[in-house]
Amino acid sequence: MDRQDLSALIVLKAVAEAGSFTRASRQLNRAQSGVSQTIRELEARLGIALLARTTRSVRLTEAGSRLLEDVGPALMQISDSLTRAKSGATEPAGTVRITTLEHPGQTILVPAIAELQKRYPAVEVDLHVSDRLTDIVNGGFDAGVRLAGHLEKDMAALPISPDLRGVVVGSPRYFERHGKPRELEDLRRHDCINYRLATHGVRYRWLFQKSGRPIEVAVSGTLTVNGTAVLLEAVRRGIGLGYVFEPLAAADLAEGTLETCLEPYAPSWSRYHLYYPDRRQKSPALKAFIEVLRRHRRATWQKPSVF
């Protein structure tokens, strides 16, 4: 590989991560026309299309994704090596990009990042919070956080939480007015706050367990939200019942501002995992982050309330 190809691959990676030629050119401090020309010349030399272009966005083709999956770790290692050379440091350095759901981001990753900052100050974290199931390779991420049931088969995965429990919660004021549901069928007579999933745009069906079998219940009510913080605030104000992972409501339950119901039907969910491509060589920054997460997990594994 000559110097021209190396430079072009760096440009390709920047365009793929930025999702546009305009943003990539700003990051690279180069003219947009020059960035476009570099990609066209690389595609011509390889004889394949690396980017699919529309009027509004740019994304990697399948061939482009495979190429970056193969060379991305090497480019990252070069970048990290240059960063260490500039600073004269021998410790891990560079940026690790992670996509995560809001709950594990707040309760698991942020505390781990605080520890990472103390242990490896040259490592930066770019944290992307979203309820969408993101393709981490095409999205330019080093790793992501999902529940076990949503992991892709070709990914390495590190469990970072105990199993989770789903609970139905309501405010004392709501229960005074409407009473507590005792059976799943009782939910039809209650105002339930729906949660709209970002990935599919559909309303989430509440999951329960009865006689060892999972049961999904489609609930109805006057409010639908797409954020957990808003859902919990609505429940506190007595607007309706909400369905959340128990740790999210732990503080409210301890203070008595919320109460649970339908406890016999509360299901256990699979735990959160940090996942990343199994075949890709991990960057020093990602290795450092995984090491800190392992330490954090050992220190907190016996404290379910932190999750």
Q: Which of 57, 89, 121 is the last residue of a domain?
A: 89
- What does the pLDDT read at residue 96? 94
- pLDDT on residue 208: 95
Asked if residue 133 and residue 118 are part of one domain, the reply reads: yes
Q: Is the pTM of this model over 0.75?
A: no
Name 119's Cβ contacts closer than 8 Å, sequence gap at least 6.
288, 292
Pair 291, 259 in one domain? no
- The count of domains in the chain is 3
What is the domain extent for residue 124?
91-162+270-307
Question: Between the CA atoms of 95, 100, 103 and 109, what dihedral angle is there, to the nearest 10 degrees?
Answer: -30
pLDDT score, position 192: 98
Domain boundary among 57, 72, 89: 89
Examine the domain organization and report whether 173 and 260 are in the same domain: yes
**Which of these, 143, 142, 147, 149, lies nearest to 131 by C-alpha position?**
147
303 and 209 together in one domain: no
Q: What is the DSSP string of 92-122?
A: --EEEEEEE-HHHIIIIIHHHHHHHHHH-TT
Q: What are the DSSP E strand ranges found in the chain?
A: 51-53, 58-60, 94-100, 123-129, 143-147, 155-159, 164-170, 194-195, 206-210, 213-217, 224-225, 242-245, 259-261, 268-269, 272-277
Where is 234: in which H helix or E strand? helix 228-236
- CATH number, domain of 122, equals 3.40.190.10
Query: Do 263 and 299 share a domain, yes or no?
Result: no
Rounded average pLDDT per 10-residue block, the chain, 307 residues? 78 85 83 89 90 80 88 75 60 91 90 94 93 79 85 83 91 97 96 86 89 92 93 97 92 96 90 82 88 84 45
Q: Percentage helix, strand, coil, to 5, in the chain?
A: 45, 25, 30
Say what the pLDDT of residue 302 is: 47
CATH of the domain at 243: 3.40.190.290
Scanning the structure block, which residue is given the tokens 């007579």? 189
In three-state secondary structure terms, 285 is: helix
Q: According to the model, what pLDDT value does residue 135 have?
A: 80
Q: Which is nearest to 165 in space by CA: 255, 260, 236?
A: 260
Q: Looking at residue 77, what is its pLDDT?
A: 72
